[in-house]
Amino acid sequence: MRSLHSVRALGESTITMDGLNSSTAGRTWIAILGRPDYPTDGVQDYCEFLGRALEPHGVQWEIVRVDWMRKGWLGALRELKSQSVHYRGKWVVLQYTAFAWSRRGFPIGVLAVLSILRRRGARCAVVFHEPFRQGGSRWLDRLRGACQSGVIRRLYSVAEKSIFPEPLEKIGWLPKGESKAAFIPIGANVPERLPPAAAAEKNGVAKTVAVFCVTGPPHARVEIDDISEAARVSTENGAKLRVLFFGRGTLEAREEIAHAFRDIPAEVSVLGLLSASEISDVLARSDALLCVRGAIYSRRGSAIAGIACGLPIVGYKGTETGFPIHRGRSRAGPVSRPRCAGKSIEPRPGRRSPAGSTATSEHARSRRVFLLGKHRRALRDGAFPWVSVVIECYW
């Protein structure tokens, strides 16, 4: 059977799994999910987009949710035992985030789920949507983080294959030289749109800056202050701005947004939650995407959505920032200081993002907007597409 080497082109160690050829026709692969996230669920979106990409290759992608939240752990595990009777020899891909498998971030139950699947003879892979423990300085945060680290390492040790949406060199706990780990960038969870090439060339027209999601309290105030400060500098340098807030947390923060922008001559709209198609439409009409929810990294779905729609991105660089975002390894543009109206915006002294990273940016001038659109097919066929995830990366 032909095999695909998923990450050789990405400069990482290779991982080999069953190839997509005629022998895969009619096969079923199963995604195992924990409790859903509200009001939006990025992991569910990830699985649905991946399923659509697998379908033309004759592979049925079945999504199974372990409903421990409603049925309790004993009831959910009993149901999984019954469902998994016919899983022998099939690829089962468990989707891991800490709070998908625990109310309070102690995801011990996911180990029981994987144990059942292995006893049923399934070929188990794990997608680590969160490959790191969550931080915090309280004793409870440290205890929770230690539990998460233990669970992540145990999942990795017993899974046949492990998939990370983060460059492997950024994951310090990974054993060196392991062949079962693969870096696979996530695809965009919104339809791709190509922005009009001429839109960025118009002089005197207000530039539209999209802000996709803000964090909840207390970080929202810091993020909105950073956005309003950037808008203030831009308008003082003569730029005309339209700022669109949409996605999770924006409706809840609308009063803070209005207060922060009260003395800034910019048009501001708060759109709230939008459908995937509506998000693509907004991004395609925008000139740049501003990401301030901590550092930008390859598993940040909002950033990938912007790139898929051909937008330059302004955001924070952190320790996890790497391919395909980082300078020299991404076709999406160079890392540089943010610029508005031709002048560089320096971060305010001592200001850091909520994640603790210093403010830098991945920024492209108006001509870069056109270049991103022009090379959209090359970018799509390289780092972020679901077709690439399926054919070049996954199996």
Query: What are the tens digits of pLDDT across the range 251-287?
Result: 999 999 999 999 999 999 999 999 888 988 999 889 8
Residues in the chain: 395
Query: Average pLDDT of the chain?
Result: 75
Q: Where are the alpha helices (DSSP H) in 183-244?
A: 219-236
Q: How confident is the model at residue 330 (pLDDT cuts 50, 70, 90)?
A: very low
Start and end residues for every CATH 3.40.50.2000 domain found in the chain: 3-184
Give the type of residue at 291.
C
Q: How far apart are CA 303 and CA 319, in angstroms?
A: 16
CA Rg, the chain, in Å?
22
Q: How far apart are CA 15 and CA 6, in angstroms?
A: 6
Asked if pLDDT for residue 153 goes beyond 70, the answer is yes
Per mean pLDDT, which range of 7-21, 49-63, 208-222 is the poorest? Answer: 7-21
Contacts of 209 (CB under 8 A, 6+ apart): 231, 241, 242, 243, 244, 286, 287, 288, 289, 290
In the prediction, which pLDDT does 177 show? 77
Contacts of 156 (CB under 8 A, 6+ apart): 126, 128, 162, 174, 181
Q: Which CATH class is domain 197-380?
A: alpha beta
Give the type of residue at 369.
V
Q: What percent of the chain has pLDDT over 70?
A: 69
Asked if pLDDT for residue 370 goes beyond 90, the answer is no
Q: How far apart are CA 366 and CA 202, in angstroms?
A: 10
CATH number belonging to domain 3-184:
3.40.50.2000
Contacts of 84 (CB under 8 A, 6+ apart): 92, 116, 117, 120, 122
Q: How far apart are CA 313 and CA 369, in angstroms?
A: 10
Q: How far apart are CA 361 and CA 363, in angstroms?
A: 6
Three-class SS state of 363: coil
Asked if pLDDT for residue 342 goes beyond 70, the answer is no
Three-class SS state of 257: helix
Closest by CA to 244, choosing from 275, 268, 220, 279, is 268
Spatial contact of 113 and 122, defined as CB atoms under 8 Å apart = no
* Two tokens, residue 129: 């949507």
Q: What is the DSSP-derived secondary structure letter of residue 352?
A: B
Residue with tokens 């965009």: 188
Contacts of 370 (CB under 8 A, 6+ apart): 197, 200, 201
Q: How far apart are CA 386 and CA 125, in angstroms?
A: 18
Q: What is the DSSP-derived secondary structure letter of residue 185?
A: P
Q: How far apart are CA 58 and CA 395, in angstroms?
A: 13
